[in-house]
Structure 1
């Protein structure tokens, strides 16, 4: 009988091993096929399932050079930064510093004086789930003014004037993507901890997870991907300034895998905070918006995902907590369609 159990255990192990190998091979083949169809776009992809990691990358750091992209290559993760911002907010919730349904009035810096018409109206969760109704930065105007650095001219005075002059909320309680909301969340964090947003990321995310290839404002490193806009022109990395909590971070698939593993781990403070962010606050059909994270219900599968787009790069973080897998996609062109097609194809053909 012992021999029978040994054989069964061995077969189960071999089946799991074969599945893992097959999944890796299929993912690599899929990424390769996307690169073959888009040879000018470099891509770095990471995948994890139940703690087992896999990385693949195709293309070069720039279209003019021949140095290959790998799992350590630095990309702009852009709006995936919002997932980290809301994780920090959720950590503050766990520490008793605020509640997600608290109004923002008492947490804002003194530069903000809310109009009486909107006082005690907007909650922390309204900001994080894009339902605040506050006015937002007009990126179209900023891009027309400076396509290379549209956020460089956005400063504290501009944001303060925008908020302080607001006397009514547009579409309050409905989803309307808001960069300004994340500026305010970042400043609320700074008020709560009496520390800069960048320092909080370093102390609470980068350092504990040993993310040594992740940066905020100051970085000058080799093995960084050159970005290209949608038309194929060179695009400089964003200067985020005050807009930092909405898209500041630069990282690699290997480093962001550390964050993804921490999200999926049931024991970490980051995972405990993530579960707060994964509660839907705005729902439409089978989709919902949590705190900085999109939630899609597909049968028994619940997917949590966040995309990112700078002017020169696109990115994606997606995970299934129940199935214990996660995917990272970084490409060195502003090309949301390509990035989305990559994720959709991975999910439909391999991960579903």
Structure 2
């Protein structure tokens, strides 16, 4: 789940004695913010073949036994990845404190993290939190109280929650301060919950015989366009719909001309150009790797197969048959009047997102009332022509991001003592969303918010369905120093050329710096190239994001490394080229 931060762990071995012998158990505490602190544990062993293996635990979240990847422990350096949560740790050995001193990076943020030799106390998981044996969805007053606690102190923030069960629908909405009241007809961006609708379009087209899950994706590209391949294997529609295509999360040629509407200028030509030049870094179908690009491509291909655009296909096949009149991509003037104003992570009003070509990944807007109708159809409380396709979405399962989590087509499935919970969440620059249901009891919940302060609001859905604990509200962080307040200076071309090259921070993260004319551009792995601006010799900053890079030079003046600063943390990298 997206609220999980660092989590992973395997067999316990004797504690490590030195930087060169990293085997054993290590523990530390990640301070996410002043009110959220997570105890973490790393377990490193050596396999029969002599290679290092490891797992990582988030003890307080009871997320245990999640494998690490790209584990390196040599010459006083420790680094590893946690694929399940898309996290990375990079550290050096501190002989004085006898600990690994470094940083944890995840979701574009960086936190300092030290790992010391583990003890019985520091390695002990938190006691299990049993769910209520006979849980009933709370009444409206209790749900209102839950919303009020979450939005307290967030001027302009609001949440609408809808419940569907045997008693019908219940909807309630609350807004902090005196903003216009929210209700079941208020429109929100639903972000990645759009993927469920794209997957349903795929399942419906399979039922109609229009496409097959094992069709190569390239079959539906324009003539002359190419798809990346690996080992003779082609990416299929099923690979795209299950996040197993090997495509990255985002294409590397996004321009982000407007950081508050980052996908708006990404067009068909850009998508085809990326597909034509990209080389896959892992085998197709080998592992789960969440990809907005993959689902955006899937929506594009299905619309091409249907001979129309994505929004028209969505309306014809799903929203009109289900009576979801407010589920759309393009808002009418009347709908715009009911569209909530989004707020970013600092609770500043922000613009809506437009995804012209990647719309199938996250471009849909909807209401709680419409999404409750959708859950009714999915749970079979009413019969629709889409029922076979909806059933097919969960007929086959694939491994998900962590133990106990699997995926269907579009949906994520969580095992629980009360039976499976099927869900998906979403987020854009100013919105968060969650939709979940329990097939056995036929109870469903929709939660929509117009604030991006926290990474996910799944905890609210799971609380209402299962009685699971509610996370403490994320504090609104202070607004960072405006990038515009930084002063850019001009450096002579020879000074710029000193830092051109590639800098490796870990096996999966590099920074490539190039010169274009009298300026520099920098590209982080899997991200577009952006200009960087000098504020001092060897010190540069981005304007599109609050981040800086400081290059490190040796006694001879030759640049040998770089330190990347973002979100209060830092990553240390080594120059690997030229």
Alignment TM-score > 0.5, same fold? yes
Partner of 2:371: 256
Quote the Cα distance in structure 2 between the aligned partners of 1:350 and 1:175: 26
Partner of 1:345: 463
User: Residues 135 and 163 of structure 1 are in contact (CA less than 8 Å); yes or no, is this contact kept in structure 2?
Assistant: no
Shift of 1:183: 2.2
Is it true that 1:49 corresponds to 2:165 in the alignment? yes
User: Residues 246 and 281 of structure 2 are in contact (CA less than 8 Å); yes or no, is this contact kept in structure 1?
Assistant: yes
Quote the Cα distance in structure 2 between the aligned partners of 1:328 and 1:139: 33
- Which of 261, 265, 277 in structure 2 is aligned with 1:153? 265
Partner of 1:271: 387
Cα 1:203–1:236 change in 2 (3 A) is same
Give 5+ residue unaligned stretches, structure 1.
1-18
* Partner secondary structure for residue 89 of structure 1: helix
Is it true that 1:282 corresponds to 2:399 in the alignment? yes
Quote the Cα distance in structure 2 between the aligned partners of 1:289 and 1:100: 15
Shift of 1:134: 1.9
Is it true that 1:318 corresponds to 2:431 in the alignment? no
* Partner secondary structure for residue 79 of structure 1: helix
Q: Could you report, residue by residue, the CA deviation over 1:33-87 in whole angstroms, capped at 9, with x for unpaired residues?
A: 4344756520001110136111010016xx6x53211111111111111100110
Is it true that 1:231 corresponds to 2:231 in the alignment? no
Shift of 1:203: 1.1
* Partner secondary structure for residue 435 of structure 2: strand
Cα 1:75–1:281 change in 2 (3 A) is same
Give structure 1 regions of 4+ aligned residues with deviation exceeding 4 angstroms: 19-25, 36-40, 115-120, 138-143
264-273 or 323-332, which deviates more: 264-273
Q: Could you report, residue by residue, the CA deviation over 1:2-53 in whole angstroms, capped at 9, with x for unpaired residues?
A: xxxxxxxxxxxxxxxxx98964454344334434475652000111013611
Cα RMSD (Å) of the superposition?
2.7
43-52 or 104-113, which deviates more: 104-113
User: Residues 203 and 390 of structure 2 are in contact (CA less than 8 Å); yes or no, is this contact kept in structure 1?
Assistant: yes
* Partner secondary structure for residue 27 of structure 1: helix
Q: Could you report, residue by residue, the CA deviation over 1:128-187 in whole angstroms, capped at 9, with x for unpaired residues?
A: 1111012442599755x5321111121112211111113434353211111121122112
Cα 1:350–1:230 change in 2 (3 A) is closer
Partner of 1:211: 324
163-172 or 283-292, which deviates more: 163-172
Partner of 1:89: 202
Partner of 2:243: 130
- Which of 147, 152, 176 in structure 1 is aligned with 2:289? 176
Quote the Cα distance in structure 2 between the aligned partners of 1:22 and 1:340: 16
Give 5+ residue unaligned stretches, structure 2.
1-134, 470-578
Shift of 1:324: 0.4
Higher relative contact order (CA 8 A, sep 6+): 1
* Partner secondary structure for residue 48 of structure 1: strand
Partner of 1:201: 314
Shift of 1:236: 0.7
Cα 1:331–1:112 change in 2 (3 A) is same
- Higher strand fraction: Structure 1 or Structure 2? 2
- Which of 61, 65, 69 in structure 1 is aligned with 2:182? 69
Give the alignment's TM-score, normalised by structure 1.
Answer: 0.84
Give the alignment's TM-score, normalised by structure 2.
Answer: 0.53
Partner of 1:3: none
Q: Could you report, residue by residue, the CA deviation over 1:259-296 in whole angstroms, capped at 9, with x for unpaired residues?
A: 11111116323332122222322344210122111111
48-57 or 161-170, which deviates more: 161-170
Cα 1:139–1:248 change in 2 (3 A) is farther
98-107 or 244-253, which deviates more: 98-107
